[in-house]
Structure 1
Amino acid sequence: MTTQQAIDWPERYLPGTGDTFVSNEVIVQGVTASRAWRFLVDTFTWESYYDNVADLSFPDGDGPEPADGVRFAFGTFGFPPLDARVVEFLHQPGVQHVEPDLPGGRTRILTQESQFGRPAADLAGQPPTPMLNGHQAWLDGLVRAARGQVAG
């Protein structure tokens, strides 16, 4: 039996309390959690598998791996680069920290995002929600990258 941990959300970002919240997941066979994690945390690979991100930068000279407090900017959904800050990141650089893969050589990849601000609210008001579709495209690209089907 496999148990899956719930996300311990900071109170301000609890799903449903912001201007938008999206949740997407895939369960794939033949992709290890470690392999998927590599492409997820190396922000410099994002543009190789996800066409809805551009102009990624780290104004404080951080990166490419996210960490608590790191500020970064990126273009998405046609917006000029948006300023973002990592509020909580539970992976330490150089330390392999991923949940075990599922039985049968499967891996669950979950992405959830809670946002505040006018751009997020505008996207949330467009059915189908572009953020939900965008996150699915992100996951699909991440799986392709982890399988070695795109450059990265």
Structure 2
Amino acid sequence: MSDIHWPQGYLPGTTDNYVSNEITVAGLSTAEVWAQLNNTAAWPGYYSNASDIRFHDGTGPELRQGARFRFTTFGFLVEGEVTEHVPPTAGQAARVAWHGWVEGDAATRLDVHHAWLFEDLPGGRVRILTQETQNGQPARDLAKTKPNPMLNAHQEWIDGLAAAAQQARV
């Protein structure tokens, strides 16, 4: 199976916080799931922790390589830049990743790498994987919180993404 491409400084196990969420869903394709994540205007409809999504150059709502955007999540206004954007093609996993950051001093600065991978599997199934690593004091605080809010919120996101892709079929 395919895995996430990690940039230097964001390898899981070397950062202040890391979560991984994955589901496998029958009856969906990578292309159908991609359509829901790549369109940021759809996010608030299936994920309650994403709002106020804006693209810096006035484009969007579609993600693309190098796109600069911002959105509110976990109470933070996160700036982001798409660092990987590989649309679905036959026999290849689709990938989206962005570097996100929250400006601040040593106590409030946050840097993240959030990556998604969609992979068609035999039997008409799709694998949906999202992983995020974080650095900074807010990340250390989140990592200590039980239950882990990032793990739970990303599960909501991944489940909502699958449900939105299924709903779009009808």
Q: 1:82: which partner in 2?
A: 78
Pairwise CA distance, 1:122: 2.1
Distance 2:21 2:71 in 1: 21
For structure 1, which segment, 68-77 or 25-34, has the greater mean C-alpha deviation from structure 2 after superposition? 68-77
Distance 1:19 1:57 in 2: 27
Amino acid at match of 2:30: A
**1:108-123 alignment runs, 5 A limit:** 108-123=127-142
Q: 1:103: which partner in 2?
A: 122
Distance 1:134 1:82 in 2: 16
Pairwise CA distance, 1:105: 1.2
Q: Does 1:66 pair with 2:66?
A: no
SS of the counterpart of 1:35? helix
Q: Does 1:51 pair with 2:70?
A: no
Q: Which runs of 4+ in 1 moved over 6 A?
A: none
**1:121-140 alignment runs, 5 A limit:** 121-140=140-159
Amino acid at match of 2:38: V
Q: TM-score, normalised by structure 1?
A: 0.82
Stretches of structure 2 that go unaligned for 5 or more consecutive residues are 94-118
Pairwise CA distance, 1:149: 6.5
Q: 1:147: which partner in 2?
A: 166
Change (3 A) 1:53 1:101: same
Identify which of structures 1 and 2 has the higher relative contact order when contacts are C-alpha pairs closer than 8 Å and 6+ apart.
1
Distance 2:4 2:62 in 1: 20
Query: What is the aligned counterpart of 2:36 among 32, 35, 39?
Result: 39
Distance 1:96 1:149 in 2: 17
Amino acid at match of 1:119: P
Amino acid at match of 1:57: R
Q: TM-score, normalised by structure 2?
A: 0.74
Amino acid at match of 1:34: A
Distance 1:28 1:76 in 2: 26
Q: 2:2: which partner in 1?
A: 5
Distance 1:124 1:30 in 2: 34
Pairwise CA distance, 1:147: 0.4
For structure 1, which segment, 30-39 or 111-120, has the greater mean C-alpha deviation from structure 2 after superposition? 111-120
Distance 2:16 2:59 in 1: 28
